[in-house]
Amino acid sequence: MKNTPLTNKHIELGAKMAEFAGYNMPISYSGIKAEHAAVREGVGVFDVSHMGEFIVRGREAADLIQKVTSNNVKKLEIGDAQYSCLPNHEGGIVDDLLVYRLPEDMCAEGEQAFMLVVNASNIDKDWNWISEQNTFDAKMINISDQTALLAVQGPKAVDALQSLTDIDLKNMKYYTFEKGVFAGVENVLVSATGYTGSGGFELYVNVKDALKVWDAVFEAGADYGIQPIGLGARDTLRLEMGYCLYGNDIDDTTSPIEAGLGWITKTKKGDFNSVEIFKKQRKEGTERKLVGFEMLERGIPRHDYEIADAEGTIIGKVTSGTQAPSLGKAIGMGYVKTEFAKSDTEIFIQIRNKSIKAKVVKMPFYKG
């Protein structure tokens, strides 16, 4: 099991630790409910250094990324970030990822540079997948082991962090980033992104500087009640927003069209993996769709629980579910036959041999 540069810090803070994606990760500190509330109402810090980062640079770097991702990378200006996915050849998803258009100070004339941020469990899989298709003038560098990542999330994140940098955090637009000095450390990439729906930033730093930046963030955020947050609250926060988790809600067998990710699937941009499959699905529809639902009766939906109609016929399966701390009710996501995907449709979750009533609702569940 691997450690992040901050593993000893989490243990020192009394975190409940467990294996996640091959890493020894903090699941909770003070408790999921309290940590969840800290991010929704104040500011919290996640260690997500287990994520993978690849640099792709060269004269045809954009062409390679355009071929292997679903979104239109050629729309990105320097300083932009983009959510996307890596389709396979059968209409499924190899992974979802972020794409950053980097400054060109690290490139020769005529070259471009990008950073791809991928899920921890898929680092080797994604690297191999993209490498196999790299017939372009593009060089790939895996910087995952040299990169630490802190997510500072919540409505007080700007105030908590601004004293640490000259970067204008307040006016940084969503899904943009800047590189600069942060907490006295040079070349920190500060990104207005996150996985919580409560605003904030993600800080990409060299592994050797991770502890220094972590300590500086907590010192600067002390007046704002800053707290360390584990992966347990990360999951409840993202689920309240209807954000997909790879391996649960999307995988190699799910299409971005049926997963509600049509907005990152640009079928008019030109050739890319599975584009013809996605065009057909857009035109003809899909047999199933990913929906959000809330429980109308007592019960917590969990991954792989079956979903039935009023007659007891199985119509789908739960992919994610929890008791939502911000909402005070149980919610979930799952794939159902398309005819059951409309809002307010009554469905039944199969929990311990009982059919528990629920209804389909529009996501996000949490409106802020």
The per-residue pLDDT for range 110-120, each reduced to its tens digit, is: 899 999 999 99
pLDDT digits (tens, 9 = 90+) for 52-81: 999 999 999 999 999 999 999 999 999 999
* Helix, strand, coil % in the chain, rounded to nearest 5: 25, 35, 40
| pLDDT confidence bin for 290, thresholds 50/70/90 | very high
For the whole model, what pTM was predicted? 0.97
329-337 vs 314-324, strand pairing mode: antiparallel
- Domain containing residue 189: CATH number: 3.30.1360.120
**Amino acid at the residue 114:** F
153 in the same domain as 230: yes
150 in the same domain as 36: yes
pLDDT of amino acid 338? 98
101 in a domain, yes or no?
no
pLDDT at position 362 over 90: yes
Domain region containing 209: 7-50+146-240
pLDDT of amino acid 292? 98
356 in a domain, yes or no?
yes
Helices 61-68 and 123-132 pack at an angle, to 10 degrees, of 110
132 in a domain, yes or no?
no
Q: What mean pLDDT do residues 301-326 have?
A: 98
Q: What mean pLDDT do residues 277-288 have?
A: 98
319 in the same domain as 215: no
Query: Cβ(282)–Cβ(330) under 8 Å?
Result: no
152 in the same domain as 15: yes
Query: How many domains, in total, are found in the chain?
Result: 2
pLDDT at position 27 over 80: yes
90 in a domain, yes or no?
no
- CB count in 10 Å sphere of residue 30: 17
228 in the same domain as 159: yes
| pLDDT confidence bin for 104, thresholds 50/70/90 | confident
165 in the same domain as 39: yes
155 in the same domain as 228: yes
DSSP 172: P
297 in the same domain as 219: no
pLDDT digits (tens, 9 = 90+) for 197-250: 999 999 999 999 999 999 999 999 999 999 999 999 999 999 999 999 999 999
291 in the same domain as 179: no
pLDDT at position 310 over 80: yes
pLDDT of amino acid 333? 98
| pLDDT confidence bin for 162, thresholds 50/70/90 | very high
pLDDT of amino acid 368? 82
169 in the same domain as 44: yes
Q: What mean pLDDT do residues 85-113 have?
A: 94
pLDDT at position 105 over 90: no
45 in the same domain as 157: yes
At 309, list the tokens: 């109609």
- Domain containing residue 299: CATH number: 2.40.30.110
Rounded to the nearest integer, the mean pLDDT of the chain is 97
pLDDT at position 21 over 80: yes
Comparing C-alpha atoms, which of 268, 282, 277 is closest to residue 74? Answer: 268
162 in a domain, yes or no?
yes
Q: Is 212 left (phi over 0), alpha (psi -120 to 50) or beta?
A: alpha
